[in-house]
Structure 1
Amino acid sequence: MRQLLLFVTTATLFACNGPSESKKGLSSDVTLTDRNLYSADTVMMVANANAGKNKEADKLFLQAIDVYRNKKDPSQAVALFKKSIQAQPQAKAYYEMGNALGDIGELKEGLQSYDIADILDYKPLNKLLYNKACYYSRLGDQEKAKTYLISAIEFGYGNIKNLQKDPDLNNLRKENGYAFNDMILTAMSGATDPDKLQWAVFSHEFAQVKFPLLLDMKYASNMTEDRIISYDNERYVPEMRDYAFSREVGAEYYRVGLVKANDSNRTLIYGVVDEMGGNTLPVYYIASFNNKGVLIDKLQIGGQKILKDPFKIATINANYDIEVASFQLTYEKDPDKEGYDDNKIREQKALGKDTYAIKEDGHFVKKDMVLGMR
């Protein structure tokens, strides 16, 4: 089903937009405009030619997220999302723009935006498919709404409350309430516990880390777009809820990987980058969850929340020991007067090291405490 949906999406986009710039023989310096924003081949050409982080695109994206989620202005957010995309096309920007377009009733354009997000490999896919089902239901195309809703469930969407109560699916429910419930039950027949299913989809996107894992300043280069954690997963990332977009803009969140897993819990590492707060290096957290995705324990193991704080560097070993070394950083110029941009680190003074173990129940404890308990 997934392959068919992607084929139909891609074929439709190429057909609707006609010959793109790439087919006219233009070089990779082609840019995105309002006219070709949904041209699949043009978007892919620009994305491939501009791989890597783009600070301007990220800044505009975070501003758009703030305007959309915090200030509740989807129209203005759409304009900012488009500027971000024109600076660099990213799956997350197309997806969030699709959400904002739906909020202002631009459903067909919203579907186009979701289509491009899909082609750019947006994750979690099940949420994107679910949103497309909602838009088709609102447009009155119940066959496509059914197709995308079933696909969303098959790819891990398990929010029963939304499936039963979401007003965006009212048209689909009204068509035949009994048939709708049967369709949902059939699609979810393999998912006896929706919470477990959603957690499984999220946690399995974290690849097993290779030991020893060193989370130092250089590791920040691994925080690429394909590792971004969607804002739809805030239930699993406490910092997303803590920020609550209380600042002018938010932060970005990245998967690092899976450290340890057993029958009752999984231990993951993720990074938080608050570029707008002045810190372009990630703060790394190790967190453990039970098999329904409920947080058991969490520990900051790398980076610094505030630039004046000691900088932490973590090493995770094959025996699951977590070594956290702290350093006091001294800069060439006074940060209070000159800031941190273009201000090189002159000295790193070691302050000490703590070692933690991961208990079988998922909690983190200092090794000296473990030895003391023995």
Structure 2
Amino acid sequence: MKVVVMGAGVIGVTTAYYLAKQGAEVTVIDRQSGPGLETSYANAGQLSYGMSSPWAAPGIPMKAVRWMFMKRRPLFIWPLMSPVMWKWCAQMLRNCNEESYKINKSRMVRISSYSRDVMPELIAETGIEFDARAQGTLQLFRTDKQVRASKADQEVLAEYGSPYEVLDRDACIGAEPALAEVADKFVGGLRLTADRTGDCRMFTIALTEKCVEMGVNFQYGQPVKRIVVENGKIAGVETEFGGRISADAYVCALGSYAVNVLNPLGIRLPVYPVKGYSVTLPVTEDAFAPQSTIMDETHKVAITRLGDRIRVAGQAEIAGYSDRLGPHATDTVKYVINDLFPKGGDLSKAEGWTGLRPMTPDGTPVLGETHYDNLFVNTGHGTLGWTMACGSGRAVADVVMGKTPEISFDGLTAARYTR
């Protein structure tokens, strides 16, 4: 079977790998000059199996209002004249209730837990390296109120079998010794012991090389103009410079840009680009640097150790498809790393980055079949594309190849948005 995968980010590349492993003849097309150059490039580096939760949750609307007035706010909404944006925001608000949260959470955990289980097998098969660490995530609380609020999260973690530890200040320092320098700035934490870390782009590049060895054809510098339909089936993908590329089946893994090629086909997915920021800086002194991932609950910023580097990522900016990196755009993430690990890294050498996370209003990605027999989707992972990549890539590849996937696709397909 010939398969075209649109998109060479971590989602597209993992999908291509699992397709090739099952014997498919795979072509991957991407508008960039290489793999992992968009959302996969400099994300937080977290494999957040224990933190796979929808942003749409009870209490979020009131929190969002408070965040808007913070000096270093985790959320910013540009007042654009965009019906699509405001419709997406309204859909998200409708999911901010207990019943929807539980449904969406269960769907997300189903994918992330599967990804957690299959990723070690992929690593063992390929031997790829990507600055991986297995020391969990420490959710750091600066106030007693945050500690009390975390009890609800603990109940959800227990319900879905995600291991965790409740830590006081001293135990947080035991997990992350460098925090002893700023012990007065936090009161405790929640450690998610099953979480992992690693450089998403390094993983994507290494897996791409393995895919090439398996015969996968990567065509870069080829923006997708449109998906061609003939006689009720997908007949090909028309690219900007390479003309039409045809196959037996097609997978759209274009992240936030998937809607641009799916909408003309009548596949209307509420996937919206939510902008995030990061900086990457070199470690200066290991004893004063983070050892794994710390999530600052107040500012919603993640600090992750990646080899001899520190990645600091966060913020959510709803501003359409803008990829502008303004001169003060990374001020919040820089503030957090300097506040918690002032001696750990060299901020003067920080490399700033911004990327668009493909978010659905319910938090769950869109996987699998569409109403076209030979077109499949793998998009809408939001901030959890790196976390869910192996699981969703393997499951979607199984569906494409006519194999029964190892997880249920109930509530994961585009059908949940069809009235």
- Asked which structure has the greater CA Rg, the reply is 1
* Pair in the same fold by TM > 0.5: no
Indicate the structure whose relative CO is greater, using CA pairs within 8 Å and at least 6 residues apart: 2
TM-score (norm 1): 0.22
More strand by share: 2
More helix by share: 1
